[in-house]
Structure 1
């Protein structure tokens, strides 16, 4: 599984109008896009990177504001905007259930402020756990690959059942 951070917009926002973070500074995005970008908790990497992007791209001077909150704040705001057809930017990462539920187009981010792709790795913290699991099983587990789309689908299923 790989974790990729990005900002995204609903697929109904024309790519010709908004393909990159820099497009948020021009019309028609400037007149149509919601200026509040709702994030998650302030300690999350995606929140720190997103707040930095607002400054480094000059989005703050154009009126954009990054707001931290809970995951529910972020997801609920995005889903409400989509339900009403509003233009909205959402900080996103993969895997993420919203990618299974909606078509979200990642914005190009020319300055590379969101970092690079992360890879999820199996970590065993206790030596005695390694002994109980065994070398052969650990080798098999290290070969597992579920992929972001499938994990996003699983997360979406779990949220719908909760």
Structure 2
């Protein structure tokens, strides 16, 4: 790919939690494995879109690498519009959840 080294500069794939989840409890992927955190999560899934995308493949690797799969965490695939609607609803309800995100993305400002 032409310019592939610089093409992705500043782009990051991550698993995100809403801002209302206390940062002193969840500020890293390792902390998702803490029992007191897992108990508060509405689901042990990270929502993401379209199988085979870089976002999904990277999220699955993160879930596996941080031992979250062994604790029941899984990547959930869904329609992009439905996921955005679900994130909005869950934010309004102040649910504790995880979603696959990339940066830059407008959901970081929600």
Q: Same fold (TM over 0.5)?
A: yes
What's the CA shift for 1:71?
A: 1.5
Q: Does residue 1:2 correspond to 2:20, yes or no?
A: no
Aligned mate of 1:55, from 31, 50, 64? 64
4+ residue runs over 4 A deviation: none
Max Rg structure: 1
Name the one with the larger strand percent.
Answer: 2
Q: Does residue 1:90 correspond to 2:99, yes or no?
A: yes
SS of structure 1 residue aligned to 2:70: coil
Give the conservation status (yes or no) of the 8 Å contact 2:26–2:32.
Answer: yes
What's the CA shift for 1:41?
A: 0.7
What's the CA shift for 1:76?
A: 2.0
Aligned mate of 2:34, from 9, 19, 26? 26
Q: Which residue of 1 aligns with 2:47?
A: 38
- The size of the alignment, in residue pairs, is 101
Give the conservation status (yes or no) of the 8 Å contact 2:15–2:46.
Answer: no
Structure-1 separation of matches of 2:13 and 2:36? 25
- In structure 2, the gaps of 5 or more residues are 1-8
What's the CA shift for 1:16?
A: 0.7
The TM-score, its normalising length taken from structure 1, stands at 0.57
The TM-score, its normalising length taken from structure 2, stands at 0.82
Give the conservation status (yes or no) of the 8 Å contact 2:13–2:59.
Answer: no
* RMSD between aligned residues: 1.6
Please list, as runs of the form range in 1=range in 2, the aligned pairs for 1:109-124 lying within 5 A after superposition: none
Structure-2 separation of matches of 1:70 and 1:44? 13
SS of structure 1 residue aligned to 2:87: helix
Q: Which residue of 2 aligns with 1:71?
A: 80
Give the conservation status (yes or no) of the 8 Å contact 1:39–1:73.
Answer: no
